[in-house]
Structure 1
């Protein structure tokens, strides 16, 4: 009798543990990262000309963050922040790395896919990597099981409109080159097809799917199915094809009953590259665009859906940034980010889940251009330190850049809640706020440096 009782208790423990595991099963994560998308290019962010019903559905069924930022408005630096949880300056990646770059993401950095892989996730990247193109910087060395796409930006090829010294552009499958100078009108479709196959192959275990689209970075291309179908020319065609790709991913998740336990995020690496005129997106009311640390460059659309976890049709204007996604997603996977090496991001799950009174866990966010500290935000306030910036006088046409000039902004304070256009300097009226933000600026200069003031950072890796 005693043995029967013990056996029964053991079975009860077994089933209880499995039920608990099932209830706490970590979510699948799909992270879709557009390239150079304008803040106002999506229907759910105000576009009236580009149709994005699938991305809009993520906002309708989940949350929209209207105050979400990147720390540098350029390719490699932005992706570094996303995957490392660090300001890119801290880990030594600035700007946009070119072909055969001697720099790249270091082995010592713990990237998001590495954390997830350690707890049983299958991991894949289909799209643009841009954290170093040599073998030592391969995605396969940094947490991804499989990779298909471009090692850097799609304009870094012999057909660039102004720079003719780029080598042929490689399309890679894992660490093998499949072809050179691929037909770019097929990229979005290729990324989508492989994503579907990856989801289907890993439907019985947790997976992390990272889709950093090559588009709408110039040169822009749409497939024959979408070419000429939008109300905003080729650029609109490109965005509507990306939206259709999102729709295919959502349909695949639903088909395999994965949608209820999958967190889907859609955002962008920076704002629109305004120099390219009608081949660039819309910044809406924001000031400037890609290549600047004004809101048009660093504020990007963000939508996320996770049925049962994120309430439907909610919006948050709490300040957040891509550096915060790593600790947040690692937390959802049941892990805690290790103390060393230090990261800058903090968990924003309370904001993403629209918890009552959820606030940003960060005292401030910092915005660099290269190694120069341009601005700091804290709450609704944004302080620009004196710095030069590139202003687009006239956008180009048909894939060619337009006219630009260097301008300079002096010390300027903006109330982003009242003045999202960054057009009214209120520094004189708020000296205490200016002083507080200057102190925060001095603090980050100690760690990350600032070429504008000649400060060398003490915490650079």
Structure 2
């Protein structure tokens, strides 16, 4: 007569099972230097991305999705904290010489959901400081496997061709370490090791899902690719018309397919929000080893749309309407408060800049953006501002290709571009080609006024903002 006892046990467990079913999981896939047009459903040519396209068919594309700054550390900081990077003091790309990193006073996505008992993992590129106090295990993640910064910060850098490893190290390019937790498990990552990075990251992510499929979890998978130098495993080498770059993107697409399959295996499809996006636009100087910004101007390292507008796909069957698209402004800073709302996790007491975008995700058609204004910083300088369809550039210099782009891993040179005060309507002119400030002085005046509020709060160049917090530092 075991059945009555089994039924009683199930009844006792039922409330807990229901609670688990109501608590969503989160998988965030963040690529490196992947341009807006580097996904099939966003216009990729010469290679296919069937798994990402399926994500879009089963979810929603976001076509006006932004990073806070078109460079590695700044962008990742914003995703993980929900703040403009200038607010938390991390600009540019932190190197192996940097003595700053994410402050212990900031709350990351990992710390946010751990308040609600989530298991957390960071896999891949971190780049918020490489000293132990800045690494993921000290900032809300139970597991970490990956590189502490960009994969080109090593003695095999393409610029160093012809040098011995020792000569390269003397030039300031140290060995690249691979971490597991707080421990270095490979002190000298080689080109052969890099060929396996995407696969190894994927395997680590799948193991985490297997180990935690019966409890709420957040997985942050930050691929090192397609940042140069490009590396791809044998299973995708030479598989695309586009060449090495296309091969690399197809391996990332394979990785996404593995994640989706593992979620389905564990019955987690309908209870997991999967987000795919990139940290900034393409590194155009690398030519055929770089991606495409599609219709947008310039690329990585600029405040033009090609630098800061990135592809984004969100999938959550039964929650996000399938096969839909949203052109309202949204950004990586919005992921933090949106995850907080979905996980019923309390936000930090300090200011965050992101907005809850559940209405953009779930409503059909999507609602209006909650952002009245969005700021574009480069370093600590406010270079542009957007409100509605209007984007105003303030006078600034920016990098632009000198001539033809580079080839096969060798970069071309940059020249200094410059813009005066310029107004663009992104709806009619997404490529930012026609300055219409003379026709809309009222819009210019309004955006200038909004920009002054940004300068007061977040600063501008040598002007310190009242809302800027102290960055983390090593002694």
Q: TM-score, normalised by structure 1?
A: 0.94
Q: Retained in 2: the 8 A contact 1:101–1:134? A: no
Shift of 1:459: 1.4
* Match status 1:274 vs 2:284: yes
SS in 2 for 1:82: helix
Q: 1:307 to 1:134 in 2, by over 3 A?
A: same
- Which residue number corresponds to residue 65 of structure 1? 62
Select the residue among 89, 92, 117 that pairs with 1:92: 89
Instruction: Provide the residue aligned with 1:203 in structure 2.
Output: 213
Q: Which residue of 1 aligns with 2:132?
A: 135
1:418 counterpart residue number? 428
Match of 2:49 in 1: 52
Distance in 2 between residues matched to 1:219 and 1:353, nearest whole Å: 38
Q: CA deviation at 1:317?
A: 0.3
1:181 correspondence with 2:178: no
> 1:356 deviation in Å?
4.6
Does the Cα contact within 8 Å between 2:115 and 2:345 map onto a contact in 1? no
State yes or no: 1:171 paired with 2:178.
yes
Calculate the TM-score normalised by the size of structure 2. Answer: 0.92
The answer to whether the Cα contact below 8 Å between 2:119 and 2:218 also exists between their aligned partners in 1 is yes
Distance 2:366 2:277 in 1: 24
Q: Greater CA deviation, 198-207 or 157-166? A: 157-166
Q: What residue in structure 1 maps to residue 399 of structure 2? A: 390
Which of 350, 355, 362 is matched with 1:353 structurally?
A: 362
- Match for 1:343 among 344, 352, 368? 352
Asked if 1:440 is matched to 2:446, the reply is: no
> Match of 2:437, SS?
coil
Give the RMSD, CA atoms, in angstroms.
1.7
2:338 aligned with 1:328 = yes
CA distance in structure 2 between the partners assigned to 1:325 and 1:315 by the alignment: 17
The equivalent of 1:295 in structure 2 is 305
Alpha-carbon distance in structure 2 between the residues aligned to 1:20 and 1:178: 40
Q: In the comparison of the two structures, how many residue pairs are matched? A: 448
Q: Match of 1:82?
A: 79
Tell me by how many angstroms 1:15 deviates.
Answer: 7.9
Shift of 1:21: 2.3
Cα distance in 1 for residues equivalent to 2:288 and 2:303:
22
Cα shift at 1:230: 0.9
The aligned residue for residue 284 of structure 1 is 294
Deviations 1:328-348 (A, max 9, x none): 01111112313x211101100
Q: Aligned residue for 2:438? A: 428
Q: Work out which of the residue numbers 19, 41, 65 in structure 2 matches 1:21.
A: 19
1:368 counterpart (372, 377, 380): 377
The counterpart of 2:202, out of the listed 164, 188, 192, is 192
**Distance change in 2, residues 1:48/1:205 (3 Å):** same
Change (3 A) 1:97 1:417: same
Query: Would you identify which runs of 4 or more consecutive aligned residues in structure 1 move more than 6 Å?
Result: 13-16
| Cα deviation code 1:154-177 (max 9, x no counterpart) | 000011233642110001111111
1:381 to 2:390 alignment: yes
1:122 to 92, 115, 119: 119
Q: 1:407 aligns with which of 417, 422, 431?
A: 417
